[in-house]
């Protein structure tokens, strides 16, 4: 009688073993730290995490609530200028409007002025990519082909500087602040430099090397929506002109949300404003250049102070409070489950 095993295929007879090699690594015999999760260590972790998050959250919320802020919407108050700007043929006509407001209490400390836009989407992929970093670094001003299309060159071949949709849509309203004091009107001194990040001002943006900016940008033209070329953004201060202009740098840092604010000016603490903005009547005088009606947008001016945690945004503090509350409640739930199971175990042991 023949052996039945001889009828098995040769491949099955020679099938290798699936067992891992007998080594310390593959058999998990290497020395390792294996934490022992006891009820004391687990509960202490949850309660300590909850206490830490609740403490930080309370501090952040109290800090955010201590910020003094006033926000003024001037979209409707400058409606005449808005209608004028909707017609592109009026781009060279100036239009000014005034907005009055009253500070019942003084705003002490450093005061920052922001401009805010609503319903302006900067997070579109083509909009975000519509720029030339080589041009902004001053390496090649005469960009011909780049992501800036269609805002790279005019029909006659003249390159736009700066190119791209971000630069072309730069916010260009001019906002001045005046203070009424004893029947006299005093212009509040505002600082237009020192508002951008140091890395932006000194690393990411550079003017082309030349004995003057006008010659450096020779043979180029301003973007279609600009009123003046890039080398005339600040004629009073060469260190704030061209690609290193603070207003331009801040605008080029796009926002992820449709409603955002950008730092515009800082109040210079001199003379009547050494302690901040005193209580009284104020007036914003605005040179209206930035149209928003076509995309149903709104424009604001914000005066605000800052604290160690930033501006008046309580989101981070609320997030810490929610996390701390969840960790603390989880600790109490685990404590209840542990006590219940321990009572059952004690009961059965007595039985």
- 57 lies in some domain: no
- The neighbouring-strand residues paired with 221 are 160
**DSSP states along 168-190:** HT----EEEEEEEETTEEEEPPE
Residue 303 pLDDT greater than 90, yes or no: yes
- 229 lies in some domain: yes
**DSSP states along 217-241:** TTT-B--TT-SS-GGGS-SS-GGGS
Tell me the pLDDT tens digit for each residue of 104-126.
Answer: 999 999 999 999 999 999 999 99
Q: State residue 12's pLDDT score.
A: 52
- 245 lies in some domain: yes
Higher-confidence residue: 338 or 263?
263
- 261 lies in some domain: yes
pTM of whole model > 0.75? yes
In the chain, the number of structural domains is: 1
Collapsing DSSP states into helix, strand and coil, what is residue 68? coil
Is residue 86 within 8 Å of 294, Cβ to Cβ? yes
Compute the average pLDDT of residues 43-48: 94
Tell me the pLDDT tens digit for each residue of 123-144.
Answer: 999 999 999 999 999 888 887 6
Quote the CA–CA distance of 165 and 186 in Å, as a whole number. 38
Is residue 160 within 8 Å of 151, Cβ to Cβ? yes
Residue 6 pLDDT greater than 60, yes or no: no
- 315 lies in some domain: no
| Residue 221 burial class via C-beta count within 10 angstroms: exposed 0-12, middle 13-18, buried 19 and up | middle
Which residue intervals of the chain are DSSP H helices? 10-13, 39-65, 79-86, 125-129, 133-136, 165-168, 198-199, 213-216, 246-252, 315-350
Q: State residue 9's pLDDT score.
A: 54
Please list, in sequence order, all residues whose beta carbon lies within 8 angstroms of the beta carbon of residue 176, skipping any fewer than 6 positions away.
187, 188, 190, 284, 285, 286
Please list, in sequence order, all residues whose beta carbon lies within 8 angstroms of the beta carbon of residue 322, skipping any fewer than 6 positions away.
57
Residue 2 pLDDT greater than 60, yes or no: no
Residue 214 pLDDT greater than 90, yes or no: no
At residue 25 the predicted structure's pLDDT band, cuts being 50, 70 and 90, is confident
Quote the CA–CA distance of 93 and 287 in Å, as a whole number. 11
CA pseudo-torsion sign 10, 13, 14, 15: positive
Compute the average pLDDT of residues 150-164: 90
Mean pLDDT of the chain: 88
Quote the CA–CA distance of 315 and 326 in Å, as a whole number. 16
Tell me the pLDDT tens digit for each residue of 250-280.
Answer: 999 999 999 999 999 999 999 889 999 999 9
- 62 lies in some domain: no
- 171 lies in some domain: yes
Q: Which of 291, 175, 176 is nearest to 225 (CA)?
A: 291
Quote the CA–CA distance of 129 and 126 in Å, as a whole number. 5
How much of the chain exceeds pLDDT 90, in percent? 59
Q: State residue 14's pLDDT score.
A: 61
Expressed as residue numbers, the domain containing 121 is: 69-310
At residue 32 the predicted structure's pLDDT band, cuts being 50, 70 and 90, is confident
Comparing 11-25, 84-98, 276-290, 316-330, the range with the smallest average pLDDT is 11-25
- 156 lies in some domain: yes
Tell me the pLDDT tens digit for each residue of 280-299.
Answer: 999 999 999 999 988 899 99
């Amino acid at each position: 009688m023949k052996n039945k095993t001889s009828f098995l295929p040769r491949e099955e007879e020679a099938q290798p073993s699936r067992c891992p090699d007998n080594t310390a690594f593959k058999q998990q015999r290497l020395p390792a730290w294996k934490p022992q999760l006891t009820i004391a260590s687990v509960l202490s972790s949850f309660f300590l995490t909850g206490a830490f998050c609740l403490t930080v959250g309370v501090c952040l919320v109290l800090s955010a609530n201590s910020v003094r802020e006033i926000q003024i919407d001037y979209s409707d108050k400058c409606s005449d200028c808005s209608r004028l700007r909707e017609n592109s043929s009026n781009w060279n006509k100036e239009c000014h409007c005034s907005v009055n407001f009253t500070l019942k209490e003084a705003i002490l400390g450093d005061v920052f002025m922001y401009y805010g836009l609503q319903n302006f989407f900067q997070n579109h992929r083509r909009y975000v990519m519509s720029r030339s970093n080589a041009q902004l670094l001053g390496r090649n001003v005469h960009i011909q082909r780049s992501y800036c299309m269609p805002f790279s060159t005019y029909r006659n071949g003249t390159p736009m500087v700066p190119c791209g949709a971000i630069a072309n849509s730069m916010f260009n309203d001019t906002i001045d602040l005046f203070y009424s004091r004893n029947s006299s009107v005093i212009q509040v001194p505002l600082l237009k430099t020192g508002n951008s990040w140091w890395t932006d001002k000194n690393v990411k943006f550079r003017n082309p090397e030349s004995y003057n900016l006008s010659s450096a940008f020779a043979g180029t033209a301003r973007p279609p929506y600009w009123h003046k070329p890039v080398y005339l953004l600040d004629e009073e201060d060469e260190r704030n002109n061209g690609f290193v202009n603070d207003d331009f740098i801040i605008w080029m840092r796009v926002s992820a949300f449709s409603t955002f604010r950008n730092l515009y000016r800082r109040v210079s603490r001199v003379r009547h404003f050494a302690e901040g903005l005193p209580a009284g009547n104020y007036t914003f005088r605005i040179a209206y250049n930035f149209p928003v009606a076509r995309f149903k947008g709104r424009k604001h001016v914000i005066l605000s102070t800052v604290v160690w945690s930033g501006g008046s945004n309580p989101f981070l503090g609320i997030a810490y409070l929610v996390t701390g509350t969840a960790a603390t409640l989880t600790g109490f739930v685990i404590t209840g489950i542990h006590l219940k199971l321990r009572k059952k175990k004690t009961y059965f042991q007595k039985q």
